[in-house]
Structure 1
Amino acid sequence: MRGEDRPGTTRRSVLRAAVVLPLAAACSAPSGSTAPSGSTAPSGSAAPQAGPAPSAATSAAATPSARPPTGEVERATSGRPEVALTFHGAGDLDLARKVLGTLHDRGAGVTVLAVGTWLQQSPDAARIVTDLGHELGNHTWSHRDIDGLAESAARVEIERCRDLIAAATGGPGAFFRPSQAQHATPEVRALAAAAGYPTVLSYNVDSRDFTDPGAAAIRRNVATATAGSVVSMHLGHPGTLAALPGLLDDLAARGLTPVTATRLFG
């Protein structure tokens, strides 16, 4: 698979750092997986363009691992009847606006892990996310296979997106999620922590909406979510928008409330 966030990825990284971080609480309150279709590159993504230079400062449910890696969260254990719908932030801006507006109108808060090139190409994207009451996070600059990058290149992918989010919102965003991988390696988690993200946000339910399986299939996949689940979804696919009304009805019928990841782990 290329272009998508691959569940259960275990590819060997070429990064050189080897730091294992302690599990940290979710980042501060919000400052606020496009996605590929089959083997294509993420919709809405493009080759990296000139943008802010990094600053020194700053298929159904995915098979859950028995224990999330240290420094990463994939589901909450509070017992509250809540789930986090998390979205790969890329793709057509009008479609993204409709998805986020539908969620807002239904009282659902979500977390958008934005690709930096999408934010650069769509200057209104960050404001649309936060103005509708959702939160914004970091999904790397250009959605490359972060596990296959040298340490310096991986650092740039994280920091360049962080700096664009900070320029738009005043903060780095709520969480970091690696690109083309369900879980972050220890090396990537170390780079994320150094960039201001002590907790990496994974997921334990994959909607598979990036495969365009149709609204009914997306609803079935998300129906595997239980209290505390983090669900991976994508803004850039019409099927996702079509699935939302029924999907939200399904969650409500089971007493589950969609909230931001910050709320879920708070």
Structure 2
Amino acid sequence: MKMIEYVETPHRVVAITFDDGPNPIYTLEVLEILGKVSGKATFFMIGIHMEKHPEVVEAVKAQGHEIGNHTYSHVNLTSLAKNDALQEIERTDAMIASMAGARAAVFRPPYLDYNATIVSMCSRFGYQMIGALNTDARDWEQPGVDYIVQKTRDHVKNGSILLFHDGFGDRSQTIEAVKILVSELHSQGYEFVTVSELLQLQKAD
């Protein structure tokens, strides 16, 4: 299993993803931005934040977005004993199933760091492991709105998976950048789909 960063497709689609939520401010702002263009996204949520903000999980689900597993406490799984790593994944898997009404289909390891043990755990849960093309936009470091936008533009093509953050700290730069990018891509004829929808397109093609 390799980490999926994009999908080859003739369709003009991108999958925007958000890590580290849910957050009662930024996640809801993302929902508003996407709602204006009837876009869908995938939110890779952390269990501890889901427990704090169940109403945000509900809003994400109600608007038809996808929820992916980003572990329970955002620890680097490769630094944990096998059982502890398993528990990090398992707890959030169960939480998503009960709060969103369906198990997650996609997983993103914290820090995009994984090893053979994590790969086999993903297989066991039936997950696809999801990366992204625009990791050099480094929105989590708050490098400036223009920087995030430009570095992301460089990686936009049919089937791109794009990574942003809606949790842990001040995410106002990310929100501004996403607002600009969604508007731009929408006017260029791109449709915003969930990661699972993107993977289905690949199968259909």
Range class of TM-score, shorter chain: 0.7 to 0.9
Q: Contact conserved, 1:101 with 1:132, CA < 8 A, in 2? A: no
Identity %: 28
Residue 123 of structure 2: aligned partner: 193
1:156 aligned counterpart, secondary structure: helix
Output the CA distance in 1 between the equivalents of 2:37 and 2:65: 12
The answer for the alignment partner of 2:20 in structure 1 is: 89
Q: Equivalent residue of 1:136, what SS?
A: strand
Q: For 1:247, give the aligned amino acid.
A: L
**Structure 2 match to 1:203:** 132
Deviations 1:52-93 (A, max 9, x none): xxxxxxxxxxxxxxxxxx253221012211111110032641
Secondary structure, aligned partner of 2:15: strand
SS at match of 1:187: helix
Cα distance per residue 1:141-176 (max 9 Å; x no partner): 100011111111110010011011111122221311
Is 1:74 the counterpart of 2:8? The answer is: no
Whole-Å separation in 1 of the counterparts to 2:122 and 2:178: 31
Give the residue type in structure 1 aligned to 2:177.
A
How far the C-alpha of 1:130 sits from its partner, in A, is: 1.1
Segments of 5+ residues of structure 1 without an aligned counterpart are: 1-69
1:252 matched to which residue of 2?
186
CA distance in 2, matches of 1:111, 1:99: 11
Name 2:48's counterpart in structure 1.
Answer: 117
Q: Tell me, yes or no, if the aligned pair for 1:223 and 1:251 is still in contact at 8 Å.
A: no
1:144 maps to 2:75:
yes
Who is 1:153 aligned against? 84
Q: Deviations over 1:89-145 (max 9, x none)?
A: 326412211122211222211000001111011121221111122110100010001
The number of aligned residues is 195
Pairs within 5 Å for 1:217-256? 217-224=147-154, 225-236=156-167, 237-256=171-190
Question: Could you say if the C-alpha distance between residues 212 and 97 of structure 1 is closer, same or farther in structure 2, counting changes exceeding 3 Å?
Answer: same
RMSD: 1.6
Q: SS in structure 1 opposite 2:34?
A: helix
Q: Could you list the runs of 5+ residues in structure 2 that have no partner in the other structure?
A: 201-205
8 Å Cα contact 1:172/1:196 also seen in 2? no
For 2:94 and 2:187, the matched residues in 1 are separated by 40
Q: Structure 2: how far apart are the matches of 1:134 and 1:120?
A: 19
Q: Which amino acid aligns with 2:148?
A: I
Partner Cα separation in structure 2 for residue 239 and residue 92 of structure 1? 15
Residue 172 of structure 1 aligns to a residue in which SS? coil
Separation in structure 1 between the aligned mates of residue 13 and residue 23 of structure 2, nearest angstrom: 29
How does the TM-score come out when normalised to structure 2?
Answer: 0.88
Question: 2:22, 2:53 within 8 Å by CA — same for their partners in 1?
Answer: no
Considering fraction of residues, name the structure with more helix.
2
How much has 1:253 moved relative to structure 2?
A: 4.2
Q: Name the counterpart of 1:8.
A: none
